[in-house]
């Protein structure tokens, strides 16, 4: 399941494959608040940040 589908399942009250931890539920709530407030990255920004973090582990950049 994609993250968006999981979050939609939570909102719709659907059963999840497993119970989420309090920490996971907090992170989901923070993400929702960030998105509502416009604190989100574009696809290019997210890709660049991910590539930068993974480069430290020797992973090649993603395809653009």
Condensed to tens digits (0 to 9), the pLDDT of residues 23-62 reads 999 998 999 999 899 999 999 999 999 999 999 999 999 8
Domain enclosing residue 29, as ranges: 3-55
Residues 40 and 34: beta-carbon distance below 8 Å: yes
Q: Which residue would you say has higher pLDDT here, 51 or 63?
A: 51
Angle in degrees, 0-180, between the axes of helices 3-12 and 22-36, rounded to the nearest 10: 100
pLDDT value of position 37: 94
Q: What pTM value is reported for the model?
A: 0.50
Residue 64 within any structural domain of the chain: no
Whether 60 maps to a domain, the answer reads: no
Residue 48: its pLDDT value, please? Answer: 94
Say what the pLDDT of residue 14 is: 65
Q: Is the residue at 62 inside a domain?
A: no
The owner of tokens 């940040």 is: 49
pLDDT of residue 18: 80
45 lies in some domain: yes
Number of domains in the chain: 1
């Amino acid at each position: 399941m994609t993250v968006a589908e999981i979050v939609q399942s939570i909102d719709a009250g659907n059963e999840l494959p497993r119970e989420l931890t309090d920490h996971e539920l907090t992170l989901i709530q923070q993400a929702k608040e960030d998105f509502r407030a416009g604190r989100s990255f574009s696809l290019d920004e997210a890709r660049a940040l991910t590539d930068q973090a993974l480069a430290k582990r020797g992973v090649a950049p993603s395809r653009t």
